[in-house]
Amino acid sequence: MAEKIRILLTEEEVNKKIQEIGEQISKEYAGKQVHLVCVLKGGSFFMCELAKRITVPVSLDFMSVSSYGSETKSSGIVKIVKDLDEPLKDKDVIVVEDIVDSGRTLSYLLEMLRKRGPRSLALCTLLDKPERRVVDVHVDYTGFQIPDEFVVGYGLDYDQRYRNLPYIGVVELD
């Protein structure tokens, strides 16, 4: 099936927003080291760009969970595919995500990470679809709230494609 991509947020808009979030985090974590936890694969593009704009010391770790197959709807099933390499004990952790949709993935993940004893635990997401929320999740840093449309780019995929787009686009099926 052919699909078209309509630009929702340009590269300039996304970059500007990431710069703002980077500055905000740098201010709020002054005197501390932030430990960024990237949720693969979607969060990786956002995390790298964000990390470059944070001026306090940064360490990084990665984990992979699965909640989506190649469908465009959440299955509600969350599985840890790859766990973090390092403990979170006494670290100031920020979980970096591409998008909060139903909230199922994040609420499961945050509860699990909290049990590992971080000094603080915050959530930063590039995109948020509040209309789609099924499970309540507290988001500390949000890039953009977007309408209920399936988006790709900046790490987000449609059947594993389009992650490399430097902007956020809406998939239009014809």
The residues annotated as belonging to the active site are: 101
Binding residue for ligand IMP, selected from 9, 37, 63, 100, defined by CB under 6 A: 100
Are 145 and 8 spatial neighbours (Cβ–Cβ below 8 Å)? no
The amino acid sitting at 143 is G
Count of C-beta atoms within a 10 Å radius of residue 4: 10
Closest residue by Cα to residue 50 from 120, 162, 155, 133:
155
Query: Which of Mg ion, ligand IMP, none does 128 bind, CB closer than 5 to 8 A by kind?
Result: none
Number of Cβ within 10 Å of residue 150's Cβ equals 16
Q: Is 92 a residue that touches Mg ion (CB under 5 A)?
A: no
Whether the Cβ atoms of residue 169 and residue 4 lie closer than 8 Å to each other:
no
Q: Please, which residue, 69 or 117, has the CB nearer to ligand IMP?
A: 69
Assess 102 for contact with ligand IMP (CB under 6 A).
yes
Single out the residue of 8, 63, 88, 99 in contact with ligand IMP (rule: CB under 6 A).
99
Residues that bind ligand IMP (CB under 6 A): 42, 67-68, 74, 97-106, 150-152, 156
